[in-house]
Amino acid sequence: MKYVVIVGDGMADYPIDSLGGRTPLMAARKPAMDRIARSGRNGCFLTIPENSPTGSAVANLSVLGYDSYELFHGGEGRGVLEAASLGVDLQERDLALRVNLVTLRDGLMISHSAGQIRSEESRQLIRDLQRHFGEEGIRLVPGLSYRHLLVLPEGEEALDCVPPHDHLEEPWAPLLVKPVREEARPTAELLNRLVLRSQEFLASHPINTERVRQGKLPANSLWPWAPGRRPRMRTLQERFGITGAAITAVDLIKGLALYAGMKVIPVEGATGNWDTNYEGKADAALDALSSCDFAYIHVEAPDEAGHERNLDLKIRCIEDLDRRLIQRLLDGLEARHIEAAVALLPDHPTPIAHGAHTRDRVPVAIWKPGEEPDPVSCYDESSARSGALGFMQGAEFMEQLLAPVSGRPPLAGTPR
């Protein structure tokens, strides 16, 4: 048996008045997702525990059966995971943080992504900023689009840093880094100086001057968040006895996969946005299953639409994921005679109402060949609550996915 997990990042949502009380998942046309729910078993999964930040690092670690609190001591650890993806070898005392290029205006956080800035532009900005700040011992490493990495030697991680996407249209000054313990105060002050000095440097940068001329948002500030140190993680092979591959455009997921001992499969045209190569991701997963037991397909598009609070775009992203990736994957599994369990879920909700991640339970559908389905007929937040899998948390999703069909072992989810 092979295993496939499809993660529609941020796909879950709340009922919306303009949709007649439906969620985007309920309103979207998604026959392939509904087929998985109808043919399989359904339930709900708490991917972000109460004691953890509402970030994608925590959520995707949970999906793969890891305890983020144990690994990152209550932090998110996103910067550390992205460092692995970017090939940055962290030393024991290095502090790694995600750093966004953002847009600030009139004292407010306007865009967490500098208007979805192109990688070519953002990498030049990060390289120029590195030259500007290099004498201070910091390392700025360019990533994809607005997502980059900051490394501080000997930095303290007891910091209160906020994700910019959770605070759009809010005043940014009160959101600057704060020390949680007194020994972290110099690190917090250094990071805040970096933010303020980056604004001075970026204000007149030619790339931003041209973006403004074209009516685009300028990338006029750095924004550091998600601090952490290098974790010690057991691989999927060590934990579950499976080999795996990850198909994603997002450095966070690539880094997580590398720490988990998975291969990262590059896909041409995969962008980490709504213009990604859905078909290429499906094909890459099918090819990976020829040499791996497990394929983890991550699609960032619905999350970005949620952060933008763009309802029509979020529905379109869900429909593109269904038609262009999931249906192609299911057809490919059949054509290649691959027997595979297929699971579908978001890592967390990103509701249109406020554009920030939440820790609500997400809908899960798991289809295993030969396993009797439950009565659920479509895939959405409400329908999943009546499924046979019940309420899962911790490592229970992975345990349920990998449980053999024969013998019908007890379901991992706790009964309602």
166-176 confidence digits (pLDDT tens): 999 999 999 99
Question: Distance from CA of residue 347 to its chain's centroid?
Answer: 7
> Is pLDDT of 5 > 80?
yes
**CB distance 401 to 342 below 8 Å:** no
What is the distance between the alpha carbons of residues 382 and 147, in angstroms, rounded to a whole number? Answer: 33
**CB distance 359 to 62 below 8 Å:** no
What is the distance between the alpha carbons of residues 239 and 261, in angstroms, rounded to a whole number? Answer: 11
Nearest to 381 by CA among 14, 19, 5, 10: 14
**Any domain includes 75:** no
Find tokens 């449980």 and name the residue: 403
Q: Are residues 223 and 236 in the same domain?
A: no
Mean local confidence (pLDDT), 114-123: 95
> Is pLDDT of 392 > 70?
yes
61-89 confidence digits (pLDDT tens): 999 999 988 887 666 678 888 888 888 98
Kindly report the average pLDDT of the chain as a whole number.
93
Q: Are residues 38 and 88 in the same domain?
A: no
Q: Are residues 237 and 336 in the same domain?
A: yes
**CB distance 306 to 314 below 8 Å:** yes
**Any domain includes 219:** yes
**Where a domain ends, among 228, 254, 282?**
228
Q: Are residues 10 and 34 in the same domain?
A: yes
Q: Are residues 240 and 382 in the same domain?
A: yes
**CB distance 379 to 33 below 8 Å:** yes
The pLDDT score that the predictor gives to residue 406 is 52
**Where a domain ends, among 213, 228, 243?**
228
For residue 45, give the CATH number of its domain. 3.40.720.10
**CB distance 63 to 7 below 8 Å:** yes
> Is pLDDT of 266 > 90?
yes
**Any domain includes 414:** no
Q: Are residues 154 and 204 in the same domain?
A: yes
Angle between helices 56-63 and 251-259 (to 10 degrees): 40
- Cα angle 355, 49, 398 (rounded to 5 degrees) comes to 105
**Where a domain ends, among 197, 228, 259?**
228
Q: Are residues 54 and 189 in the same domain?
A: no
Give the burial class of 316: count Cβ atoms within 10 A of its Cβ; 0-12 exposed, 13-18 middle, 19 or more buried: middle
- Per DSSP, what are the bridge partners of residue 263? 245
> Is pLDDT of 281 > 70?
yes
Q: Are residues 48 and 90 in the same domain?
A: no
What's the pLDDT band for 233 if we cut at 50, 70, 90? confident
Domain with 196, as residue range(s), is 84-228
Q: Are residues 36 and 60 in the same domain?
A: yes
For residues 121 and 74, the model is more confident at 121
The pLDDT score that the predictor gives to residue 73 is 67
**CB distance 319 to 345 below 8 Å:** no
What is the distance between the alpha carbons of residues 319 and 35, in angstroms, rounded to a whole number? Answer: 14
The pLDDT score that the predictor gives to residue 218 is 98
What's the pLDDT band for 414 if we cut at 50, 70, 90? very low
* The model's pTM: 0.80
For residues 198 and 55, the model is more confident at 198
**Any domain includes 408:** no
CB atoms within 10 A of CB 241: 9
The number of domains in the chain is 2
Least confident of 226-230, 239-243, 284-288: 226-230
Q: Are residues 262 and 206 in the same domain?
A: no
The pLDDT score that the predictor gives to residue 408 is 47
Q: Are residues 50 and 126 in the same domain?
A: no
